[in-house]
Amino acid sequence: MADEKKMVGEVYYPAPEVVAHAHIRDYEKVHADASADLAKFWGKVAAENYEWFQPWEQTLDDDNAPFYKWFKGAKVNIVHNALDRHMRTAVRNKAALIFEGEPGDTKVYTYQQLHYQVSKFASVLRAMGVQKGDRVTIYMGRIPELIIAMLACAKIGAIHSVVYGGFSTEALHERIDDSQSKVLITCDGAWLRGTIIELKKIANEAVDRSGTIQSVICVKRTGMDVEMVQGRDYWYHDLMALPIADPTAPTQVMDAEDPLFILYTSGTTGKPKAILHTHGGYMVWTSTTLKWVFDIKPEDVWWCAADPGWITGHSYIVYAPLILGATSVMYEGAPTYPYPDRWWSLIAKYGVTILYTAPTAIRGLMRFGESWPNKHDLSTLRLLGSVGEPINPEAWRWYHRVIGKEKCPIMDTWWQTETGGFMITPLPCVPLKPGSATRAFPGVDIDVVDEDGHPVAANEEGFLVIKSPWPGMLRTIFGDPDRYVQQYWSRFAEQGWYLPGDSAKKDEDGYIWVIGRIDDVIKVSGYRLGTAEIESALVSHSAVAEAAVIGVPDELRGNIIKAYCILRQGWEGSEKLEHMLKDHVAHEMGPIAKPSTIEFVDNLPKTRSGKIMRRILKARVMGQDVGDLSTLAD
């Protein structure tokens, strides 16, 4: 029920009809129930909503914390719950996926059709020698075959590693090598803004650099000419036409704790980390969070406008909606192609009821004015969502007024690749404050603390911490369990808390306001990039001796990248070199990592131990006080 007590600041109380419709109508009660006994609460949810081949012996095993186990001893497969079980009910004939390509082509998959394709491709992968536990890298545009490939891997117990299609050669190569994938699934090209991103070409370059890939499977999307290597590369459609592509392929029985996928994300230092999620806990977490936060009902048309190549897409385009038997929309291309109303036209065309996107997209579309959305019938919308970075109140109000017509609550969901699903988020029954992700999801124990772990006073900045385990939590960093402990569990080791790496405030009403990263991670248009990765892309150019990269606030993209380079002898800074270096980063890492400006410098501020002090560079750009300089070398 709407909170009776008067709250501080700009508050939007939920409409009674929204609350009456919702799965969860009393946040306080559910949160209290869950928090009182996590194992009992999640055990009940897990038993009532999914099919397990064998039940668990223990709901939560914390003996070897922080290596927590959920649903220990259970047998399950997430694909059985996302597809197979629906074949016995009316969901079978329902649209699972409504796909629209950028050029305007469309395709609808019912649950049965998706199950058919996934089963066939699963048996193709099996026939090619992919076994349970093997890693398969997937590097594709936003097309249905990407989802089919992910589900086919999961069905046979292979671990998928999706690399976002906006990444480029070196980023892909590094991720292939780290995961030791034997098979790469890609496509000829992807449509974006009316042009083709040549994915197969990039994939070829990456595979040439890597030593592990034995086979490449290529989906034909654009029909462009591509180089296929004999004996290594196969067309997807050729394989799917063979008798080995068996639509009755069985689903592998997995342990609840067996790995489902790895997904690389940027961290504080060095190479990206392979975040590992499992079949059991991730299944329960993603689908329960989606159901409760976005109030998913059979009649909904859900559109998560993210890319399946990021965790948002893994959880909320692929797994959670399918587990819930929902209908999802996926659009291949740019929101502004051919005109800035493409998204709004899709909402009207498919009768989308819930839209989930990122603040950067909202700000980008806001620029074009209200007349574009106003040309379309958006009246089917009933809920809106935001993710990826803090949403500025102006963008929130625009989204609420112009898109949601002041009747759609906005679910501002805070979470991470590591958390698997939503952690701080409103539910439809919770009063909203623009810019705040509001309260913890039921059963999540969140706080904002100081250096010593003491809760900070209201409206003071501190470390965000998560104080208890949850089913969707990452289990480890693939291949590097020490780094898992070090990265997430060492800062507050004594208390046993998880450190997400964000700073935040908590207001008088207990609402959380996430401020941003406390480490060297930069959020550019909601994409998470590590300074270390961009710096090493710069240094891999023969002109650059040393590089430092910082994020500078930007109205549209949240942050933009500014780079500082020390050149090698014989090179001189020029506009031409600046362009060359930007293109080099785009070629190695991907266009999203391209610096907006590069400044050529003679030295960089460093600590005596040689660590670059990026905060000094940042303070200078921002015209702020540089703070404590006692550790600076010169």
Q: Which residues bind ligand WT7 (CB under 6 A)?
A: 265, 311-312, 387-390, 412-417, 437, 500-502, 514, 517, 523, 528
| 121, 273, 523 from 530: Cα distances, Å | 34, 11, 9
Compute the distance between CA of residue 96 and CA of residue 504 in angstroms, rounded to an integer: 37
Which run of H or E residues covers position 184?
A: strand 183-187
What's the count of helices (H) and strands (E) in the chain, helices before strands?
A: 20, 30
| Shortest Cβ 434–ligand WT7 spacing (Å) | 12
Structure tokens at 290: 């989606």
| Shortest Cβ 275–ligand WT7 spacing (Å) | 8
| Shortest Cβ 616–ligand WT7 spacing (Å) | 22
Compute the distance between CA of residue 75 and CA of residue 70 in angstroms, rounded to an integer: 12
Structure tokens at 42: 């999640």
Closest to ligand WT7 by CB, 295 vs 418, is 418
| Shortest Cβ 437–ligand WT7 spacing (Å) | 5
Which run of H or E residues covers position 173?
A: helix 169-179
Closest to ligand WT7 by CB, 18 vs 311, is 311
Closest to ligand WT7 by CB, 145 vs 412, is 412
**What is the total residue count of the chain?**
634
Closest to ligand WT7 by CB, 278 vs 286, is 286
Closest to ligand WT7 by CB, 529 vs 543, is 529
Closest to ligand WT7 by CB, 403 vs 466, is 466
In 511-609, where do the E strands start and end?
512-517, 521-524, 527-530, 544-554, 558-567, 597-600
Compute the distance between CA of residue 253 and CA of residue 251 in angstroms, rounded to an integer: 6
Cis (ω within 30 of 0) for the bond into 605? no
Closest to ligand WT7 by CB, 168 vs 417, is 417
| Shortest Cβ 319–ligand WT7 spacing (Å) | 14
Closest to ligand WT7 by CB, 312 vs 327, is 312
Compute the distance between CA of residue 632 and CA of residue 634 in angstroms, rounded to an integer: 6
| Shortest Cβ 515–ligand WT7 spacing (Å) | 8
Please say whether the beta carbons of 344 and 378 come within 8 A. Answer: yes
| Shortest Cβ 499–ligand WT7 spacing (Å) | 10
| Shortest Cβ 108–ligand WT7 spacing (Å) | 27
Q: Concatenate the DSSP letters of all residues of 505-527 into one string.
A: EE-TT--EEEEEESSSEEEETTE
Closest to ligand WT7 by CB, 295 vs 389, is 389
In the chain the first and final C-alpha atoms are separated, in Å, by 59
